[in-house]
Structure 1
Amino acid sequence: MFVSVNDHNLHVALHGNPRDPALVLLHSLGTSHDVWQEQAYAFSETHYVICPDFRGHGLSDLSRTPVTVEVLAADVVGLLSKLGVQGFHLAGISIGGMVAQSVAATLAERARTLTVFDSSIVSLAPQMWKDRAAKIRADGLASIASGVLARWITPAAVDTPHGRGLATMLARMSSEGYAAGCDALAVADCRQDATRLTMPVSVAVGELDEATPPAAGKALADAIAGSRFTIIEGGAHIPLFERAQAVNAILAQSIREP
């Protein structure tokens, strides 16, 4: 489905029955809504699963203005309004986890639960993200693709179907779309959102995640009163396929919270 939000044409994949409780899933940098395939399949029998593509990702427009976490969050808020969604559960991974924090803070009375995977509360390496954006704009995304993929999954997963699928997602990614996401991560700061996250919050991070290490996930959890923190054993930065069973269990426990 395509929806016009904030003067941009955005794509959103919808799964399940609109009459069921809504579950919104926000993807990572360099992927698309398809990164949540395992979760959409598992939860669409009981939930209306909403998976948008951020600007410059998947089938959504490239951004015509500078991208920030707040801009992406405003797109999600606008999309939910266009879809007529009121109460919803929310989850995000990596940059999607930061966007999810911003959305949940903005719509605190409507966000029933928040689950954040492999993310942080503030940019961990602002200059690195600025340098990466510059390199991609100069040399193309292919110039860093192998290093990115190596952080997404473990070496054992590279030649599996989902490993090859993630490589294809990255190969088809727009260089400018990825660079704009790097711009957003260079200045990302969700610390002011933490006090407004009064819904049940769960934070989980892959044991082997080098992009947002467990210490970053623990710092995020510690900043949000009453949040739950979980280590995903054997998980790298994107455990949604490799550790789907563990991810689904964490998500299921989170959305059962009162």
Structure 2
Amino acid sequence: MFLTVNDHNLHATVAGDPKAPVLVLLHSLGTEAALWDAQVAAFSATHRVICPEFRGHGASEESQTPLTCEALASDILEMLDQMGVGDFTLSGCSLGGVVAQLVAAEAGARVKGLAIFNSYVKSLDPQMWRDRAAKIRADGLTSIAGGVLGIWMTEADRMTPEGKGLARILSRATDEGYAAACDALAVVDCRDAAAKITAPTIVAFGSEDKAAPHTASEALADAIQGASLRAIEGAAHLPLLHYPDASSAILKELT
């Protein structure tokens, strides 16, 4: 479905009974709602599953203004309000995990559970994000695609149907949509937001993740009161499609 949210035309995929408990899933940088296909399949029989697509990703319009993670969080809350959503369980991966922290801090008691995959509480390397944005604007996303895919997945996972699908998803991403999100990640600091989160929280990381290593997840879990930490053995940066059972089991602890 498409909605006008904060003066932008944004897209979300929705599955399941409109009267069922709501599960909101936020994708990572350079991907789209399809990142959560395995979890949509696992939960749509019991939940209303909503997968928004951020500005400049999937079928959503690129940002008309300089992008921030706070703007993305505002988009999610406004979208959910327009859809008549009250309470919900929330999850996000990487960029989606950053935005999920901001959403959870603002939404308060509406968030009944929070699962954050392969993310961090503040930018790990601001200059890297600035350099990446500049490289994309100069030479296009294709100039870094191989390196990105090598971070997203292990070499073995890249050869699977899911790995080939993720490569196609990245190929559909727009240069400016990706670069604008890099700008947002360069300056993000969720430490104040994380301290406000009251929902039961699980922070998960892939044992082979080089983009958001276990130390980043440990710092994030420490920043959220009562959060617990989970490892997904063998997973790199995007475990949701390649390790669907382990990823969905974490969500089931909170739904």
TM-score, normalising length from structure 1? 0.98
The one-letter code of the counterpart of 2:31 is T
CA offset at residue 227 of structure 1?
Answer: 0.6
1:128 aligns with 2:93: no
* Runs of 4+ in structure 1 over 2 Å off: none
Q: How many residues align?
A: 255
Determine helix, strand or coil for the equivalent of 1:249.
helix
What is the match of residue 115 of structure 2?
115
**What amino acid is aligned across from residue 230 of structure 1 in structure 2?**
R
Residue 223 of structure 1, CA deviation: 1.1
Question: Unpaired segments of 5 or more residues in structure 2?
Answer: none
- How far does residue 144 in structure 1 lie from its aligned partner after superposition? 0.1
Task: Please tell me the residue identity of whatever aligns with 2:28.
Answer: S
**Equivalences for 1:216-235 in 2 at 5 Å?**
216-235=216-235
Aligned letter for 1:215? T
SS in 1 for 2:108: coil
Q: Equivalent residue for 1:67?
A: 67
User: 5 Å matches for 1:121-200?
Assistant: 121-200=121-200
Question: Could you say what secondary structure the match of 2:239 adopts?
Answer: coil
Query: Aligned residue for 2:254?
Result: 254
Q: CA RMSD in A?
A: 0.6
The AA in structure 2 aligned to 1:216 is: A
How far apart, CA to CA, are the structure 1 residues paired with 2:251 and 2:77?
21
SS at match of 1:66: coil
2:57 counterpart residue number? 57
Aligned-pair CA distance for 1:55 = 0.1
Aligned mates of 2:234, 2:111 — CA distance in 1: 30
Tell me the amino acid that sits aligned with residue 13 of structure 1. T
Match of 2:238 in 1: 238
Secondary structure at the counterpart of residue 63 of structure 1: coil
* CA drift at 1:254: 2.3
Q: Secondary structure at the match of 1:241?
A: helix
Letter in 1 for 2:162: H
Pairing 1:203–2:203 present? yes
Secondary structure at the counterpart of residue 231 of structure 1: strand
Q: CA deviation at 1:214?
A: 0.6
Q: Which residue of the partner structure matches residue 104 of structure 1? A: 104
Aligned counterpart, 1:45: 45
Measured against aligned partners, the alpha-carbon deviations of 1:139-178 in whole angstroms (never above 9, x if no partner) come to 0000000000011111111121100000000001001000
Q: Which amino acid aligns with 2:113?
A: T
- Cα distance in 2 between the residues matched to 1:195 and 1:174: 34
Aligned partners of 1:230, 1:157: CA distance in 2, in Å? 21
Equivalent AA in structure 2 for residue 162 of structure 1: E
* Partner-residue secondary structure (3-state), 1:108: helix
TM-score normalised by length of structure 2:
0.99
Instruction: Please give the alpha-carbon distance, in whole angstroms, between the structure 1 residues aligned to 2:254 and 2:116.
Output: 10
Tell me, what secondary structure is at the counterpart of 1:105? helix
Q: Does 1:35 align with 2:35?
A: yes
Cα deviation, 1:75-124, whole Å, max 9, x if unaligned, reads 00000010000000000000000000000000012111111000000000
| In 1: Cα distance, 2:190 partner to 2:243 partner | 27
